[in-house]
Amino acid sequence: MIKFKRKIPLAWRQLVRTKGRFMVALSGIAFADILMLMQIGFQTALFDSTTRLQSFLNADIVLISPQAQYLGNINSFPRRRLFQASNLPEIESASPLYLSLGVWKNKQTQLKSTILVLGFNPSSSPFNLPGVNENLNSIKYPNTLIFDQNSAGKYQELISQISQGQPMTTELEGRRVNVTGLYSVGASFVAEGSVMTSDQNFLRIFSGQQASQVNVGLITLKPGNDAKTVATKLRSYLQDDVKVLTLQEFIDFEKKYWQESTTIGFIFTFGVVMGFVVGVVVVYQILSSDVADHLPEYATLKAMGYSNLYLLSIVFQEAIILAILGYLPGFLTSTIFYGLIRSATKLPLFMTLGKGFMVLTLTIIMCMVSGAFATQKLRSADPADIF
């Protein structure tokens, strides 16, 4: 440790000797960190937003159609599969959940947008969500629903009016509906937000939907039963026109679609790679220029008997200093951006220790890789040739 402390000032003084170059290096690293943190944040927000609703489901096992791709294209399966599943002694209840994307008319702006509509039997709420259970009686009335107050878009007038206990009338799928309550989930990449209503209201709004065709089946188990074990039993018991998943598998099913079956997941991953490459190039340019400028000094140290390993350690110390000092402003700036974007889009974009540590690790690796390339000239430097 004492030797390490003695070596640091040389690396530090070389970096700050040319203050302009030093600030450019820190700016480049900060930019690369911002790029990586934003891409990782967007990717995480993508997965969290598209699975946030599923995480509130009051179910142990989920039934979906084998043709289902993701929540916005879930297809349907025969409702009788739920009746068959309820015959198993391990199962407490099996209830249907209807869902579809619908055209919502924003009364405040008069513009139409896509919103996720969910219908279920109010006698047993399938969601562990504040605001839903309190409004189960209200959605029993015809054409009545509750609205996600964290939906993206200009819904301030609607939210304000309902918060004051005053229902609002608008249009969903060209049908007049009354909004009487609020709950909180948030926007996603599937839709701006969501609304919930009774199964009977859902079937009125989407007249093409048959009651005998269910989009999602929610199964709760009796205490003491394992979801994976019962799911395996159901797979052999039910026909192949239905897919049986545990709740976690249902969440992973949605994530897998966005990660592997769409270009969005690839784009965000590619953005992280590009940020890493940008950082490598910037740091390499700075360190290689520093090595070139001080090559005679390095050669002198070499002629005095200092080993290549010692000289290389100086460059790597510079790389670590750049990594840490460049990371700090990048992290702080990204945290501010997260808050601004979260406020504007209602997406679950939060800075976490995991994201911060991941990018810090990538930054250190990035700078070390650049340092390794920058020391090529130093390794081959011959004091006799330089002088």
Instruction: Provide block-wise average pLDDT over 10 residues at a time, the chain (387 residues).
Output: 53 79 87 90 84 90 93 90 92 93 85 90 86 90 92 82 88 92 85 91 92 94 93 90 94 88 80 86 81 72 72 82 91 94 84 91 88 73 54
Residue 280 lies in a domain: yes
Q: Are residues 101 and 41 in the same domain?
A: no
List the domain range (segments joined by +) for residue 172. 66-241
Distance between CA atoms of 232 and 236, rounded to whole angstroms? 7
For residue 359, count CB atoms less than 10 angstroms from its CB and return exposed for 0-12, middle for 13-18, buried for 19 or more: buried
Distance between CA atoms of 279 and 366, rounded to whole angstroms? 7
Residue type at 205 in one-letter notation? I
For residue 165, count CB atoms less than 10 angstroms from its CB and return exposed for 0-12, middle for 13-18, buried for 19 or more: exposed
Residue whose structure tokens are 């562990």: 128
Q: Are residues 216 and 317 in the same domain?
A: no
Residue whose structure tokens are 């206990």: 165
Torsion of CA 286, 289, 291, 297, to 10 degrees: -130
Q: Are residues 44 and 72 in the same domain?
A: no
Q: Are residues 369 and 220 in the same domain?
A: no
Look at residues 196, 243, 239, 194 and name the one whose alpha carbon lies nearest to residue 217. 243
Number of structural domains in the chain: 2
Distance between CA atoms of 102 and 255, rounded to whole angstroms? 22
Record the tokens describing residue 285, joined without a space.
């340019």
HSE-CB for 348 with a 13 A CA cutoff:
18
Q: Are residues 41 and 72 in the same domain?
A: no
Residue 268 lies in a domain: yes
**Predicted local confidence at residue 383, as pLDDT:** 57
**Predicted local confidence at residue 152, as pLDDT:** 79
153 secondary structure, DSSP code: S
**Predicted local confidence at residue 5, as pLDDT:** 46
Provide φ and ψ at 292, rounded to 5°. Answer: -65, -40
Q: Look at residues 208, 241, 274 and tell me which one is the last residue of a structural domain.
A: 241
Distance between CA atoms of 96 and 84, rounded to whole angstroms? 13
Residue 257 lies in a domain: no
Q: Are residues 234 and 302 in the same domain?
A: no
Look at residues 76, 37, 120 and name the one whose alpha carbon lies nearest to residue 329. 37
Residue whose structure tokens are 């545990």: 246
**Predicted local confidence at residue 100, as pLDDT:** 92
Q: Are residues 135 and 176 in the same domain?
A: yes
Q: Are residues 308 and 373 in the same domain?
A: yes
Residue 270 lies in a domain: yes
Q: Are residues 108 and 196 in the same domain?
A: yes
Q: Look at residues 192, 209, 241 and tell me which one is the last residue of a structural domain.
A: 241
Residue 104 lies in a domain: yes
Q: Are residues 130 and 99 in the same domain?
A: yes
Residue 309 lies in a domain: yes
**Predicted local confidence at residue 381, as pLDDT:** 58
Distance between CA atoms of 237 and 141, rounded to whole angstroms? 37
Residue 272 lies in a domain: yes
Residue 251 lies in a domain: no
Q: Are residues 236 and 168 in the same domain?
A: yes
**Predicted local confidence at residue 271, as pLDDT:** 84
Q: Are residues 185 and 292 in the same domain?
A: no
